[in-house]
Amino acid sequence: MKHALQEPMAPLHAGTLDTDAAARLLWTYRETGEPLQALPPALRPADRGAGHAIQARLPAVTGRSVVGWKIAATSVAGQAHIGVSGPLAGRVLSGLVDSDGDTVSLAGNRMCVAEPEFAFRLGRELSPRPLPYSVAEVLEAVDALLPSIEVPNSRFIDFARAGEPQLIADDACAHRFAIGAPAPVSWRTTDLRVHRVRAEVRSADGSLRLEREGDGSAVLGDPRVALTWLVNELSALGVSLEPGQFVSTGTCMVPLEVQPGDRVEVNYGTLGRLGISFGP
């Protein structure tokens, strides 16, 4: 579907936006896989706050629940790639989570990458409060570490130039997530900053096409720090994290380029493994 744009005008702040209409339009493009040049001026957010106001309406306009959260651009390289000044928070909605061994479609995906990540599942609620949460406080609320693979996507044709407000409105490039089995409890005494993660991409015939390695230092220096950033970002927005929700903290290596027919296997060492395939 194509959406005709009007003549340029000033983007709008949250108080003057029809956030439901903006969220509904973004979701329509998300479901069809069609590319979007930009939100029309009457629905385009002017700042991060307006972007968050649109994103917050996604559950209501889609009828889906929030099962998790993601962080985009947790490295300097990632921030430069999509033209933002810092990390971005996004919602993971129900029906968009896959498991080990599943096949994920790349139809309409303009990014075509897989991102190995450390995810954390919450065991209790973290509510908004005036004072920031510490890393120790946040970890006390975590009941499991989950190996994960994000398969991001953007609804914008030129997502590198869409800008922070529109990218936040578009759920921080959220698309699909594969979540693995909980890691052994030894993760709590593991230095995730230096914990190595290895990934392979194999073609449909089984031949090795790509190998890559990374570690937790790629994620704001430490996945636990990234998790705490997300908690405090949501706290400032007046949003709670609920028990059972997970937070995927950002890719721990250069994203893996994938194409239909590929299979990605990620080895988290003592913390587990996870693999998914890609269809058309």
- Note the pLDDT of residue 2: 37
- Note the pLDDT of residue 78: 86
- Note the pLDDT of residue 11: 59
Q: Does the pLDDT of residue 4 top 60, yes or no?
A: no
- Judged on CB neighbours under 10 Å (0-12, 13-18, 19+), 114 is buried
Mean pLDDT of 15-20: 85
Task: Go through the domains of the chain in sequence order and give each one's CATH number.
Answer: 14-279 (3.90.850.10)
Q: Does the pLDDT of residue 236 top 90, yes or no?
A: yes
| Cβ(95)–Cβ(64) below 8 Å | yes
Q: What percent of the chain has pLDDT over 90?
A: 89
- Note the pLDDT of residue 13: 62
Global pTM value: 0.93
Write the CA distances from 232 to 103, 219, 229, integer angstroms: 34, 16, 5
Tell me: the pLDDT tens digits for 58-115? 999 999 999 999 999 998 888 888 888 899 999 999 999 999 999 999 999 999 999 9
* DSSP β-ladder status, 88-93 and 142-151: unpaired
